[in-house]
Amino acid sequence: MRKYVVPVIAAIVSVLFILPPSVFSLENNHAGKKPLVATDIFGKRLAVLGLTQEQKGRIRRIFIDHNTALAPKMEEYIQKRRAFRKMSNNADANQNEIYELAQRIAQLKGDLAVEKIAIMKEILPVLTPEQTEKFKLPAPNSPPQKELSR
């Protein structure tokens, strides 16, 4: 047992020296904070715009204002989608429950889309005309939109 103590301590110390100092900082500890939902939705689009600190602050304020409405809906949407996935793979699932769950998911998806549009309308005046054009383009790394043919 004693022959393993020194190598284990040496391994722990070497790992601690490899980690960046921000890991140990109390200021940068985001463990208790939930991220803003709108950041997940618009993050890729906003990252390529080269925003100023003032613009970032104003957009963050918009995200905070909408987070109270957006976060519970997104949380419920994720939970319902997971439940739907489990239910649709279960042979003993009740057909009526599946339909009700699918309708609730569709309603939540519509609510999220309306909230997203409201956020976009608030973000656009904060951006410069060049940034607005870039923002209106599809997000980087997003799948191309397919047009429906008749």
Q: Can you tell me the distance from the alpha carbon of 71 to that of 10, in angstroms, rounded to the nearest whole number?
A: 44
Q: Determine the Cα–Cα distance for residues 108 and 148; give it in Å rounded to an integer.
A: 23
At residue 147, does pLDDT exceed 90?
Answer: no
- pLDDT level of residue 79 (50, 70, 90 thresholds): very high
DSSP helix/strand/coil, 32:
coil
Cα(49)–Cα(127) distance, integer angstroms = 9
Better pLDDT: 149 or 137 = 137
pLDDT in tens, 20-70: 555 444 444 444 455 666 677 777 778 778 888 898 888 888 888 888 888
pLDDT exceeds cutoff 70 at 141: no
Question: Would you tell me how many other CB atoms lie within 10 Å of the CB of residue 79?
Answer: 11
- Higher-confidence residue of 34 and 88: namely 88
The helix (run of H) or strand (run of E) holding residue 61 is helix 53-88
User: Is the Cβ–Cβ distance between 124 and 52 less than 8 Å?
Assistant: no
**Which domains occur in the chain, in start order?**
33-135 (1.20.120)
Helix (H) or strand (E) holding 95: helix 95-123
What is the pLDDT, as a whole number, of residue 130?
87
Map residue 102 onto helix, strand or coil: helix
pLDDT exceeds 80 at position 150: no
Contact 145, 136 (CB under 8 A): no
Percent of the chain with pLDDT over 90: 13
Residue 129 exposed, middle or buried by CB count within 10 Å (0-12, 13-18, 19+): exposed
Nearest CA to 101 out of 86, 115, 114 is that of 86
